[in-house]
Structure formats: structure tokens, C-alpha cells
Structure 1
Amino acid sequence: MTILRWIVRLGFVPAILVGGNYLAITVSSSGASHAWLAALILGAVLASFLAENFIPYHRAWNLEHSDKWRDIFHFLINESANFLSILALPLLAPAIPDLGFWPNNWPIWAQLLLAIFIVDFGITMAHFASHRINWLWRFHAVHHSAKRMYGFNGLMKHPIHQLIEGVCGVAPLLILGIPQQIAWLLIVAIALQLLLQHSNADVRIGPFKYILALAPAHRFHHLNTAREGDVNFGLFTMVWDWLLGTASFDPTREFTSADLGIENDPDYPTGYVAQLIAPFRAR
């Protein structure tokens, strides 16, 4: 059993990060329905839950904190919005300036990596700004109110904040002329990344923790004070954090629910509807 646990600790991230995106590219290239991409994301969610129960970082985070249905609503509504936004691209195309610079002759995997690099910068900068600008923080606080870290936390976002991040990340891609196929693959890549970034699985990624914005790095970002938590903003990579001077690691640090949440707002609403309303209320 110990050997099997180590196999999962070492193999879970590559299986989701590399295997999941490879499968998405294969499905997309085959001309299959985009519903299969949604099924792939749901399969990754199931795999994440299984890994979290088999190799948990913190066992208590696998237990419901009166947040199960709230997080399910966040996941379904926000991910549905992502898929609908891609379906709407042909309708929006006439209103979007297209410079036609997208390298359509590149292999699909290379185009996806380019899209990831660009969206990583845009969303990371929007995330960084959300910790500096009060009205942005009011919407982003929904995400930081979580008292445990597990796969579903990645899509626990206020829809308005998700829209803001999406515009910052995707607008440059649209102007460059990203094909719809690559946009579909990018949605899958982001969903898989968010699962891994907030996972409760006790994975081992070695020196990649300094490069990839996965759970071992992102847990520091969810510390409940600005003194400690204003670090590790990256979506896909830690590149921009190293350049901003916001990268932070402490290999001896252990995390519990007492370390998470919002220190100066411990009674932040926990229900889905209440969280949609919270940014508009004085707190």
C-alpha cells in the first residue's frame, strides 16, 4: 500500500496535467462533440476526489464544512459560463478586432501552450490587482472565504470576478485571432489546473513546485492574512511571481483550516446566494 501511495503521489499531477490535456487534444482533433470535453473535466473531478481520499494532505479537508452544495453551484454555474462563452465566440467575432497574428500553422499542442502562456500572464495580473484594489477584492473575497482546500475550490468564484479575470486573460487571445478549437482546449486546461492548484492530495512534484502554480505553492496564497497570503498569485506558473517578488515557500509550513479564510472577516457568508450578494454590501 505504501508503494501504491507513492506512485499516486508522484503520478497524480502528470496524469491530470499532461494526460488530461493530451486526451482533450485527442478528443478535439477527432471531431467529437464538445460534450466529451465536459465529460473529461467531470472525470478529472472524480479522479481528484479519489486522490484526495487516498493521499490526503489534510484529512479534515475531505469532510464537508457546510459547503458541499455551495461549491457544487459555483462549479456548475461558473464552468457552464465558460463553455457558453466559447460557444458565443462566433457571435462576438464581428465586434472583436482580429489582428490575424495567431500561428495557425503550429501544432495544436504548441498553440495551446502559447494560449496558456498568454492567459497565465493576464489572469495572474488580474489576480494580483484583486489583492490591491478594494472593489476588485470585494468580489475576489468569495474565493478566499473557503475554510478548506480541495479540488472544487478552484471554481469557487464570484461570477463577476471570473468575468473580470476572463477578460484580462482571454482578450489578448481574441485580438490575436485564437481559433475556437484552441479556446475549447484552453477552457479544459484551466479547469484541470484549478483542480490541481487547490487539491487536497498530498502530491510530490519536486523542484516543479518553484515553477508550476500547483497546490504546494498555492496553499500559501490562501493564508488568511495579507502579511502571509499576498503571495503566489500565478494561475499556471510561478514565473510572474518570481518577477513580481511575490513568490513564497516554507517547506516546514503545515496548513489547517485555522490558517485559511479571511482574518478580518471571519463571518463571511457561506451560502451561495449570500456570497453573490456579499460584494455589494458594506462589510
Structure 2
Amino acid sequence: MHTTTLSSMQRITRYAYVPFMLLGLNGLGIALTAAGAPKYWLLAILAVAITTSFLAERIIPYEGDWNHDLGDSRRDRIHAVVNESLILVSVAAIPLLAAIVPAPAIWPRDWPFALQVVAAVLIADFGITTVHLASHKIGLLWRFHAVHHSVTRFYGLNGLMKHPVHQAIEMAAGVAPLILIGLPVEVASVLALTVAIQLLLQHSNADYRVGPAKYVLALNEGHRFHHLKWAGIGDVNFGLFTLLWDHLYRTYSYDPGRRFTTEHLGMAAKPDYPVDYARQLTYPFTPAGACEITTPK
């Protein structure tokens, strides 16, 4: 937001939005699942999260233009539905995978349920962050990951604006190690909710504040730097949930004085990247997708 005069609603939203999403909605998902509630309640919580995200972006927009359709809203909704469905399918498949590949009794089922969810988040964060980093270094992975970097505005649905192949690879990296050590399906269900909420926050157009937590949590202030369009500059801040691995990998970057507009986002080396869903789905398999899209250096 460019104005320094905020209404009461704007001030409340600026500081309460992230706690409401991270602690309130995730906490509600944990509590309901621990109590044995049907899993459709998690979908209801996700619907509240999406609605809250869009409301916050309109109450405290970081960049007003990013709230307007640039011919990408329908495409982004399709990406979101497809990729969120992949997440839900992966959770539903856990009992089948456990039957095929019996897991050792390593998972700490005797821990409080909330602590089990935190452990799952931290383990998944390592796998997803590492594959994300590799996707900027390995041409074959970048070919599919490039879809996500073609965005020219930053708002909640961008988080699931991914090629389904890359989405599957990232989720496998995050969830497969957990399954191999006996992840319970109940914990996996809440993990799926936390991933969706985190992606909404990480790509949000809301000008919220989290104080010093911005140096640890992988939220929108830091993630905007990841989407800078110039090759190499966006090779930072890969974390999904936290920036802990970015600090360790020396890929962390943040400049509090930097502002972003549409002209800073996208891929400078590929300004004509396909914008419609069908072409984004097929482009990585074409000769142009294989040869012209290069991994940032």
C-alpha cells in the first residue's frame, strides 16, 4: 500500500491476517482432525482461507493493479483446482501406499497431534525446498517449473499456478519421506491444508506485517524476490514454509527498500511464454519448451 493513512479495518487486517491463517485456520484443522471430525471439514476451512485471502488482498493491497484480471484468472483457477486435487489424491493414496510398502514404526504417534503436524511440516519443508532449488539448476526440472515463473502479478492463486508434473514432483519430495516413516493419514490431511494456506500467504497481494518473523517464515515479502524476472536474480528464497534452508543453502535474500510492480515479474528471457492453460500444459513437452527455456544462472 502506498498510503500511510490506514483505516481501523486496514490496521487490523495488516497484523491479524497472518496469525488468523497460520494459527487460527491451521489450528482449527488440527483440532477438528484430532477430535475425529470428517475430513470434509478441512475443505470447508480451505474455502474460508481462500475467501479470507481475497478479502485481505482488497482491504490492504500491496499493488492495486494485481487485484485486476490480466486475462489470467480463469487459467489460474484451473491450475488451482487441478493441483489442489493432486494434493488431495496424494493424501487419499497414503493408506494404499502404506499397504503396498509397509512403513517401519518410526513415526512418533505418541506425540501430541499438533506436534506431529509441526514435525510433518518441517520435514516436508526440507524436501520441497530442496526440489525447488534443484528446479532452478536442472534443465529438465526447470522446463516444468518455468510455468510458475511466467506470472506477471502476485496474488493468492499464484501459489498453485504450477505445471502438474512439477507439482507432483514437489509433493513427492515433501511427502514420500514422511510416508516411508509411517505418516498417519490424519496428519497428512492437515499437512495438505497447511500447504494450501501457506501458498495463499506466500503469493498474497496483501500488504501484511509479521515483524521479525519475515526472516524465518517463507511469506510474501521474501518470496517476491524469488519471482524477479531477470535470470539469476530470482534464484533466492526457495522455502515453502520457512527460510531456514535458504539461510543454510545461502540462497536467502531480502531488501526492505525494494518495491515490486508487474514489470519486475515473469521471465525476461522468455517474455512470450504461453499464457493459456492448455498451452502451458503441453509446452514443456515441445521442442521449443525443451530448447528455448533455459535454467537461470
Give me the TM-score of the superposition, normalised by structure 2.
0.93
1:216 to 189, 196, 221: 221
Alignment correspondent of 1:80: 85
Q: Deviations over 1:161-211 (max 9, x none)?
A: 011111111111001101100000000000000000000000011111100
Q: Is the CA contact 1:96–1:174 (under 8 Å) kept in the aligned structure 2? A: no
Alignment correspondent of 1:166: 171
SS at match of 2:200: helix
- C-alpha separation in 2, matches of 1:39 and 1:3: 28
Alignment correspondent of 2:15: 10
Identity of aligned residues (%): 52
2:230 to 225, 230, 242: 225
SS at match of 2:147: helix
- C-alpha separation in 1, matches of 2:263 and 2:202: 19
Q: Deviations over 1:85-126 (max 9, x none)?
A: 211211221332412110000011100000001000000000
SS at match of 1:119: helix
SS at match of 2:141: helix
Aligned pairs (5 A) from 1:142-181: 142-181=147-186
Alignment correspondent of 1:266: 271
- C-alpha separation in 2, matches of 1:200 and 1:96: 42
Alignment correspondent of 2:39: 34
Structure 2 gaps, min length 5: 1-5, 293-297
1:133 to 122, 128, 138: 138
SS at match of 1:190: helix
Give me the TM-score of the superposition, normalised by structure 1.
0.98
Aligned pairs (5 A) from 1:74-113: 74-113=79-118
- C-alpha separation in 2, matches of 1:208 and 1:273: 38
Structure with the higher helix share, 1 or 2? 1
Q: Is the CA contact 2:103–2:181 (under 8 Å) kept in the aligned structure 1? A: yes
* Deviation for aligned residue 1:39: 1.6
1:123 paired to 2:143: no
Structure 1 gaps, min length 5: none
The farther-off stretch of 226-235 and 117-126 is: 226-235
Alignment correspondent of 2:73: 68
- C-alpha separation in 1, matches of 2:77 and 2:29: 23
- C-alpha separation in 2, matches of 1:31 and 1:133: 43
Letter in 2 for 1:216: E
1:59 to 58, 64, 87: 64
* Deviation for aligned residue 1:80: 1.2
Letter in 2 for 1:150: Y
- C-alpha separation in 1, matches of 2:243 and 2:227: 15
- C-alpha separation in 1, matches of 2:113 and 2:91: 17
Letter in 1 for 2:259: E
Letter in 1 for 2:80: F
- C-alpha separation in 2, matches of 1:10 and 1:241: 25
- C-alpha separation in 2, matches of 1:199 and 1:271: 22
Letter in 1 for 2:190: L
- C-alpha separation in 1, matches of 2:171 and 2:34: 25
Q: Is the CA contact 1:197–1:214 (under 8 Å) kept in the aligned structure 2? A: yes
